[in-house]
């Protein structure tokens, strides 16, 4: 398939809504306050509902229910709230059909929330690093929406399913996408965020998440952290032990808060093993 088809699909997606743009502008304005953000969020009932639902997910570790947007904004901060807002926008896109990736809309949002929650818990004691990856970690998989749409439009579900079932690692998946589409979902994600007006420091690490050696030194650590989260938490039938070993090797080699990583991973394993 030609990359031009993919780029046309990206162009056809809607721009960010007025409400989302206003909230993002507030978050990007150094003169804005948490009260300004809270007021803007409250003006959109759907965004408010989605933020509170996400903030109360067990992965974030809050034992008491978060009932008010102002409480959520205070606890999570502007950058993480930006991530929740973008997740709400993506959730509201029409024709989100991720069945080629064996996902429905609910499963997709749950997966991306868990990826963000893992990163949030891992770097909760490093605000500077968390601020640099909190938004990106919400959006790592969004490019799959476009690629899935192309698969459906070309009636290629069976062929795509065959190829995706042969993948065992994130690198395998990326190579398969590049062979079929000429672009990976990571490159599509970067193009989407560029279309929506995000800066390079947000989309550049996402473009090279599975190839952190190719990203500039300025963004390499962010790309490595996103790689680890994405390797551990995904919707694919990857070999769990193999991918855990890959993630641990990266954490150790680049000294990515290893003690906090171990605690976060153990906490997530315990949570996932608890009966529903």
| HEC per residue, 26-57 | HHHCCCCCHHHHHHHHHCCHHHHHHHHHHHCC
What is the pLDDT at residue 273? 61
The torsion angles phi and psi of 95, rounded to 5 degrees, stand at 55, 40
| CA–CA distances in Å: residue 77 to residues 55, 80, 82, 114, 124 | 12, 6, 9, 18, 12
CATH number of the domain enclosing 64: 1.10.3210.10
pTM of the model: 0.92
- Model confidence pLDDT, tens digit, residues 44-57: 999 999 999 999 99
Domain that includes residue 229, residue range: 3-273
Residue 250: both structure tokens together: 């990266």
What is the pLDDT at residue 276? 46
Please choose, from the candidates 28, 23, 59, the residue with its C-alpha nearest in 3D space to the C-alpha of residue 43: 23
A 10 A CB-CB count for 218 gives 11
- Model confidence pLDDT, tens digit, residues 22-73: 999 999 898 999 999 999 999 999 999 999 999 999 999 888 999 999 999 9
Alpha helices in 43-156 (DSSP H): 45-55, 69-91, 105-122, 127-133, 143-153
């Amino acid at each position: 398939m030609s990359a031009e088809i993919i780029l046309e699909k990206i162009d056809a997606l809607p721009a960010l809504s007025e409400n989302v743009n206003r909230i993002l502008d507030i978050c990007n304005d150094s003169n804005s306050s948490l009260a300004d953000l809270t007021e803007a969020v409250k003006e959109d009932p759907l965004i408010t509902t989605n933020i509170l639902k996400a903030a109360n997910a067990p992965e974030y570790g809050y034992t008491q229910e978060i009932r008010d947007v102002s409480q959520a904004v205070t606890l999570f901060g502007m950058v993480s709230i930006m991530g929740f807002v973008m997740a709400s926008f993506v959730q509201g896109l029409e024709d989100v059909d991720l069945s080629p990736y064996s996902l429905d809309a609910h499963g997709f949002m749950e997966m991306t929330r868990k990826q963000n929650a893992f990163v949030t818990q891992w770097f909760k004691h490093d605000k500077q690093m968390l601020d640099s990856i909190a938004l990106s970690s919400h959006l790592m998989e969004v490019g799959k929406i476009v690629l899935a749409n192309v698969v459906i439009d070309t009636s290629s579900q069976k062929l795509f399913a065959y190829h995706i079932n042969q993948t065992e690692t994130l690198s395998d998946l990326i190579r398969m996408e590049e062979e079929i589409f000429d672009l990976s979902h990571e490159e599509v994600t970067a193009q989407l965020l560029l279309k929506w007006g995000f800066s390079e420091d947000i989309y550049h690490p996402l473009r090279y998440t599975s190839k952190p050696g190719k990203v500039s030194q300025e963004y390499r650590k962010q790309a490595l952290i996103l790689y680890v989260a994405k390797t551990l938490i995904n919707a694919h039938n990857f070999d769990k032990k193999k991918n855990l070993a890959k993630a641990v090797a990266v954490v150790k080699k680049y000294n990515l808060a290893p003690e906090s990583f171990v605690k976060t991973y153990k906490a997530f394993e315990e949570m996932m093993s608890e009966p529903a």
